[in-house]
Structure 1
Amino acid sequence: MRQYELTVIFPLEEDQNKAGREQLLTDLNANGAVIDKTDEVGDRDLAYEVKKRRRGRYVLFTLKLDPAKVAILDRSFKLNANLLKYLFVNIEE
């Protein structure tokens, strides 16, 4: 298992934020991810408009995950309408 940072931008609306977060955590747990740390970065302006929104709620996850599962999670995150953007970054040891 490798260490990753996952940065996610959720919509500001509480119902979409909560639904997006629940779906994300369900997907991570189903694929065997071990979440070490969760940081609420807060609400910020986006550099450009994403899905007709100019602001989003940023959350940073530090997790351990099998590298083969990243592609599977990438596909499921693309189908999650309650995620504006996400980025996996591999943390070198």
Structure 2
Amino acid sequence: MRKYELVCVIQPDLDETAFNVVLEKVKGWISDSGGSVDKVDVWGRRKMAYIIKKHREGQYVLLNMTMNPAATSDLERNLRYQEPIIRHMLSVAE
């Protein structure tokens, strides 16, 4: 098991309920793959440096997690096909 950081930029126009549904779905994928979410830090709505998918702002979320390195490819594939997630970045925590 290895520690990872996942930063997601979620569409800014989602209401709180839809935002929480997306967040719970991501946490579910992590736990389904045998990993665990250690900490969730919601940074809130922030202006992005450039327009992505016609959005100037995004809701940023940082997830600190522990999971098997082999399961990261499945997680990234699921994140890529999730429409409310504008961008994501998965990195190894130090």
Structure 1-normalised TM-score?
A: 0.89
- Looking at structure 2, the residues matched to 90 and 50 of structure 1 have their Cα atoms a distance apart, in angstroms, of 25
Moved over 6 A (4+): none
Which AA in structure 2 matches 1:60?
A: L
In structure 2, list runs of 5 or more residues that go unmatched. none
State the one-letter code of the partner of 1:7. Answer: V
Give the alignment of 1:36-47 within 5 angstroms.
36-47=38-49
Question: Aligned equivalents of 1:51 and 1:16: distance in 2?
Answer: 19
Q: Percent identity?
A: 28
8 Å contact kept, 1:20–1:81: no
Q: Which residue of 1 aligns with 2:34?
A: 32
Alignment partner of 2:19 out of 13, 17, 20 = 17
Per-residue CA deviations over 1:59-80 (Å, capped at 9, x if unaligned) read: 1111001000111111111111
Q: Verify: 1:6 aligned to 2:1, yes or no.
A: no
Task: Provide the aligned C-alpha RMSD in A.
Answer: 1.4
Could you tell me which runs of 5 or more consecutive residues in structure 1 were left unpaired when the two chains were aligned: none
- Matched residues, number: 92
User: Residue by residue, what CA displacement relative to the aligned partner does 1:30-73 show, whole Å, maximum 9, x if unpaired?
Assistant: 11221111111111001111111110111111100100011111
| CA distance, structure 2, for counterparts of residue 5 and residue 73 of structure 1 | 13
Which residue in 1 is equivalent to 2:61? 59
